[in-house]
Amino acid sequence: MTARGASECPACGARDVAPVVTTPLLPVIANSFPSDPERARAIPRVALELWSCARCGHLFNAAFDPALPVYDQGYETSLHNSAHFQAWAEKLASRLSALLPAHGGTVVELGCGRGEFLALFARDDRRCLGFDRSYDGRLATRAGLSIEARDYDPTRHGPLDAELVACRHVLEHLPAPASHMAALRAASAPRGTVYVEVPNGLWTMRDGGIWDLVHEHCGYFTPRSLASLARRTGFAVRSLEPDYGGQFLGAELALDPRADRATAPAVDPTLAARFATSLRTHLADWNERLAHELDADRRIAIWGAGTKGVTFLNALPRGSEIALVVDRNPFKRGRFVPGTAQRIVAPQDLVSQPPDLVLVMNPLYRAEIAAELVGLGIRCDVAVV
Ligand SMILES: [Zn+2]
């Protein structure tokens, strides 16, 4: 293992950084789902060496090697198959649409995935441009919408003069996020809005979101660290709020310094140490519970083959003994979990092999999943991890 260490905070640039905790071994890429179990098992696993910044609370993996995760076209993080998520995304898009001119206008999304979010802005008279190197061309074309399967490069593509630039769930993948902020600025019109969204690292650290730890996320932003990154790269922070049940942070940034109105709370100096303890406790508790369930021959299903599910299965020594992994995303179906190599099944596949216990990986989807199980005629215990 290479303990690379760190000399400064990737978000705020302060040199007040220190190690916090090392995780169990996790796949170098958690959200790319191979089509055969051998390839899933062959994905290398590494420990995250988490450090934190005393100035802004940013948590980051000091051992992160950007050469390890490969964002190919098997990379799949879409949550749009959840009705709960889709309704939330539509509400967000409607709020951001209010920033656009009544007619015409340009929306750019950097790291747009398959373009589901960008498509919510598509209209005949509006230009919607997406960039994502893992884009696989599977979104149906729609008026005004185009996606390039590459990163936005200001020198090649030129300025885009967009009234709205969205960048959702990208910055946490970048060991040097400050350099990406320059691309956001280049894409924006002088009076445009840059909407940035990341997982809420404060939720991960403070509220037990330990299953969000994943190798491809090398940074976990607090409100303070996101605001610091934005300000030191020349943006004004117009608003910065937790969203999606507290699990995301959404920030509206502007280029005009007079727009800076947001405040970000000071960092609790005990947060990092308490997080380290919480991580160890959660792992020990779930090791024990899982052993109890498996030794009683209970058939367990994990519902949600996303970051949380993949980390849960890999972080626990007996995770590979969990029989079933369910996901509603049709693009994951029939593919295999990185590391532990379970075949991902659809909810309806549970009917022929009903579980005794469904472990819901995200509390936000508990009601939706419980209703779906009832609809399928499956009676089993449901617990939130
Ligand atoms: Zn910092």
State the pLDDT confidence band at 114, using cuts at 50, 70 and 90: confident
Looking at residue 2, what is its pLDDT?
38
Give the chain's radius of gyration (CA, Å): 21
> If you average pLDDT over residues 103-109, what whole number do you get?
95
CB contact at 8 A, 129 and 146: yes
CB contact at 8 A, 68 and 44: yes
Ligand 1: centre distance to CA 12 (Å) = 4
Q: Does the pLDDT value for residue 140 go beyond 60?
A: no
Domain map (residue ranges) of the chain: 296-384
Q: What does the block give as tokens for 10? A: 């990737």
Answer CATH for 296-384 from 3.40.50.2300, 3.40.50.2000, 3.40.50.720, 3.40.50.740: 3.40.50.720
Q: Which of 203-207, 275-279, 376-380 has the lowest mean pLDDT?
A: 203-207
Ligand 1: centre distance to CA 59 (Å) = 8
Ligand 1: centre distance to CA 14 (Å) = 5
Q: What does the block give as tokens for 280? A: 């160890």
- DSSP secondary structure, 334-370, as one string: T-B-TTT-PBEE-GGGGTTS--SEEEES-GGGHHHHH
Residues, CB-to-ion distance under 5 Å, ligand 1: 9, 11-12, 14, 53, 55-56, 58
CB contact at 8 A, 136 and 156: no
Lookup result for tokens 């509390």? 363
CB contact at 8 A, 332 and 344: yes
Residues 6+ apart with CB under 8 A from 30: 214, 215, 216, 307, 310, 311, 314, 338
Ligand 1: centre distance to CA 80 (Å) = 32
340 vs 71, residue with greater confidence: 340
Tens digit of each residue's pLDDT (9 = 90 or more) over 79-101:
666 778 889 999 999 999 999 99
Tens digit of each residue's pLDDT (9 = 90 or more) over 124-136:
999 999 999 888 7
Looking at residue 139, what is its pLDDT?
66
> If you average pLDDT over residues 294-305, what whole number do you get?
96
Tens digit of each residue's pLDDT (9 = 90 or more) over 304-337:
999 899 999 999 999 999 999 999 989 899 999 9
Looking at residue 30, what is its pLDDT?
86
- Rounded distance, CA 308 to CA 333, Å? 17
Ligand 1: centre distance to CA 263 (Å) = 16
Q: CA geometry: angle at 163 spanning 161 and 166, to 5°?
A: 100
Ligand 1: centre distance to CA 60 (Å) = 10
